[in-house]
Copies of this chain bind each other. A is one copy, B any other.
Amino acid sequence: MDKKIEWLETYLSLYIGHDKVLEKMNDVDSPYVVLDVRNAPAAVKKDQIKGAIAMPAKDLPNRLNELSKDKIYVVYDWTSGTTLGKTALLTLLSAGFEAYELASALEGWKGMNLPIESII
């Protein structure tokens, strides 16, 4: 039982809900920076979460110098069924950044009709 609880606590500690991100979305001093870690080109991605920064997971290890220890990073991929968000999250946490994966990913964000923006 303790193993299950510990597993669930760790699992849930990796995620952040859309509500927290959404609440601060229009604050100029929001602590959150949303990173779109999809590896696809813009023409395939077509749109992204409003205000997100395109930071493909494959490039992330070489672009950590663009990030700040004062921010909280929120990564997302197309869906939560992929491993890309967790790959990016591991890169960020290992480098000492505060970071979370967006629960339900882009698919869930769009499914709730939350703010997106075109990127082409």
Contacts and interface: CB of A to CB of B under 8 A. Distances in A.
Contacts of A13: 3-4
A104 interface: yes
Looking at chain A's contact residues, the main secondary structure is: helix
Say which size band chain A's interface belongs to. 20 to 34
Contacts of A4: 10, 13-14, 93
A79 B94 CA distance: 29
Given A81-B108, A107-B81, A90 B5 contact: yes
Given A4-B10, A5-B90, 12 more contacts: A1-B93, A3-B13, A4-B13, A4-B93, A7-B7, A8-B86, A8-B89, A12-B83, A79-B81, A80-B81, A81-B108, A82-B104
